């Protein structure tokens, strides 16, 4: 699932392939930037904030993209191209002077902004555990701002803490023994934030750890509850449940173990 750790690793790959190289050809297959041309500019850097990717170019221009559910980036070496069948999915094409070509596929968000104006596209985001400017205290304060909000929904709010998606919201609730409907004001928020930061960093940087929350990489055993509806809990054996309503206002599926994650006080 494209969450903050996914985008962080993507930026690492793009950085190695593109940074320091001159753009020899560019195409933007989105109406807003159909006539834009970055030819001649140098790729300076790739940066991330939560699930957002920023590609910076010489001349003070930044490309802001977001993968959401279906987007991706791939880079081909000199003399190669993506298969013909995926060409209709290309939204951004960046060819460089060493023969490599980066393709942005099915990107739902493609924006060119002045580098000095990046805050216009990412300024609403909360602190990101994968950034050098991570501020745990600020994340705690933002999560506590609405104490009645369900913890699962609070974790999904990118304005509170950036980079956590549905998988991490579910897995973090399990790891802390929290029913996803528990009000955020009733839990140890600093401990939850510390675990979220540690887990996201490990997933983003440790070899083979990408979104493996159980420590087991075997198929079907990588997650404690996410995607395991109707199957036994890996800890206690209770059948894992799923619903699309518990993460209030998120519209996303929520998985939980009713034994390992007892309901909040007053809820049966």
pLDDT tens per residue, range 87-106:
999 999 999 999 999 999 99
Q: Residue 142 pLDDT more than 70?
A: yes
Q: Residue 203 pLDDT more than 80?
A: yes
**pLDDT confidence of residue 268:** 55
Across 21-37, average pLDDT: 97
Predicted TM-score (pTM) of the model is 0.92
Burial class (CB in 10 A: 0-12, 13-18, 19+), 5: buried
Q: How many CB atoms lie within 10 A of CB 264?
A: 16
On whether the CB atoms of residues 130 and 4 are closer than 8 A, the answer is yes
Q: Residue 260 pLDDT more than 80?
A: yes
Instruction: Round to whole Å and give the CA distance between 207 and 111.
Output: 32
Give me 66's structure tokens: 């977001």
Q: Residue 108 pLDDT more than 70?
A: yes
Domain locations in the chain?
4-123, 136-256
Name the fold adopted by 136-256: Helicase, Ruva Protein; domain 3 (1.10.8)
Q: Residue 65 pLDDT more than 80?
A: yes
Confidence tier at 248 by pLDDT (50, 70, 90):
very low
Place of tokens 């099915």: 106
Taking domain 4-123, whether its CATH number is 3.20.190.10 is answered by yes
**pLDDT confidence of residue 1:** 63
Catalytic residue numbers read: 2-3, 51, 252
pLDDT tens per residue, range 179-194:
999 999 999 999 999 9
- Name the DSSP class of 231: S
């Amino acid at each position: 699932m494209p969450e903050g750790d996914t985008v962080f690793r993507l930026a690492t790959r793009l950085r190695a392939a593109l940074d320091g190289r001159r753009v020899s050809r560019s195409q933007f297959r989105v109406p807003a930037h159909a006539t834009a041309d970055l030819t001649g500019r140098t790729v300076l850097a790739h940066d991330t904030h939560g699930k957002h990717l920023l590609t910076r170019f010489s001349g003070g221009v930044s490309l802001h993209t977001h993968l959401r559910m279906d987007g991706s980036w791939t880079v081909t070496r000199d003399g190669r191209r993506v298969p013909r069948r995926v060409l209709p999915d290309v939204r951004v094409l960046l060819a460089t002077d060493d023969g490599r070509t980066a393709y942005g596929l099915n990107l739902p968000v493609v924006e060119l902004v002045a580098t000095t104006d990046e805050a216009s596209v990412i300024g609403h985001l909360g602190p990101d555990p994968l950034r050098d400017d991570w501020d745990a205290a600020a994340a705690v304060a933002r999560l506590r701002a609405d104490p009645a909000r369900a913890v699962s929904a609070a974790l999904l709010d990118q304005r509170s803490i950036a980079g956590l998606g549905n998988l991490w919201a579910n897995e973090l609730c399990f790891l802390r023994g929290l029913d996803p409907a528990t009000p955020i004001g009733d839990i140890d928020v600093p401990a939850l934030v510390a675990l979220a930061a540690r887990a996201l960093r490990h997933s983003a940087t440790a070899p083979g750890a990408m979104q493996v929350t159980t420590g087991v990489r075997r198929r079907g055993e990588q997650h404690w509850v996410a995607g395991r509806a109707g199957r036994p809990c890996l800890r206690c054996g209770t059948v894992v449940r799923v619903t699309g309503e518990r993460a209030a206002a998120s519209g996303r599926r929520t998985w939980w173990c009713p034994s390992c994650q007892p309901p909040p006080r007053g809820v049966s």
